[in-house]
Amino acid sequence: MESGLIAVDWYGVIIALGLVVVAIGLTWFNGFGMERDLVVGTIRSIIQLAILGYVLIYIFAIRQVWLTALILLVMALIAAYTAKGRIKRPYPGAIPILWFCITVGSFIALGYITVIAISDPEALKPRYLIPLGGMSIGNVLNGLSLAGERFRSELESKRDRIEVLLSLGADSSRAARDSARAAFTAAMIPTINALMVIGLIQIPGVMVGLVMSGEDPLIAARYQMVIMFMIVGGKVISLILGLKLSMRKYFTPEHQLRRELL
């Protein structure tokens, strides 16, 4: 099997950028109004990925596990700020709660995979921990963003029904159960869809990268399985934790709905 990955130079990146230009033009022509978001997102991705490429050279040289953990904590904090920004009306104290949920879910999943599943000291090096942790944190971020906004909107649309249940003696957990279930389901749909079609319709990024670099396809497939299981575990843990903690924000200790937060 051939080994080595084909190098992509900056000229190739500029040529590939033509597809984004086409996408922006089509969006403008059809009046969808997403041109600014596409332009800003593309510029940010170029800058952020270029910086990341240079920074990773130094990060991968780190030998202390605690420094790697600190980097992952900072990544989780940035993810918490991002998740808060995607919620239409975030509740007070959202950032510490989101940071806690992202950190707990991602670190449990990452630790389980690297220490128990892979069970190799090499997996505790930044070259493994940073990319794997980044994938886990990124997926948890998306899940918490979807769940947070959906939970708030469900509480808003069903507040009369919820208050009737509360008046009949139900506690906040029982009254908001359907809203929490709807939020959890909405957040998990992308992951469930990915599990259903992976290997049939979609060849995921990690597996593509390993195969393109000349790795055995079966090894690449096993790596992708491990990563998908890590994503599922970390996301479910964070979502359940996030919904339970946010429920305490939307309800008083006396199990009254805080209408002013909806």
147: nearest Cα among 230, 239, 58, 71: 239
3: nearest Cα among 159, 153, 210, 182: 210
pLDDT at residue 183, rounded to an integer: 95
Q: Is 202 helix (H, G, I), strand (E, B) or coil?
A: strand
Q: Are 75 and 136 in contact (CB under 8 A)?
A: no
pTM > 0.95: no
27: number of Cβ within 10 Å: 16
- How far is the C-alpha of 222 from the C-alpha of 166, rounded, in Å? 49
Instruction: Taking residues 159-175, report their average pLDDT.
Output: 91
- What value does the mean pLDDT of the chain take? 89
Amino acid, res. 109: A
Q: Is 198 helix (H, G, I), strand (E, B) or coil?
A: strand
Q: Which helix (H) or strand (E) holds 34?
A: none
For CA atoms 109, 111, 115, 118, give the dihedral sign.
positive
Task: Look at 23-27, 105-109, 121-125 and tell me which has the smallest mean pLDDT.
Answer: 121-125
pLDDT at residue 124, rounded to an integer: 87
Question: For 34-91, what is each residue's pLDDT tens digit?
Answer: 899 999 999 999 998 888 888 888 888 877 788 888 999 999 999 999 999 888 888 8
> Is residue 142 scored above 70 in pLDDT?
yes
Q: Is 251 helix (H, G, I), strand (E, B) or coil?
A: strand
CA dihedral 67, 70, 75, 77 (to 10 degrees): -170
pLDDT at residue 1, rounded to an integer: 47
- pLDDT over 70 percentage in the chain: 97
> Is residue 218 scored above 90 in pLDDT?
no
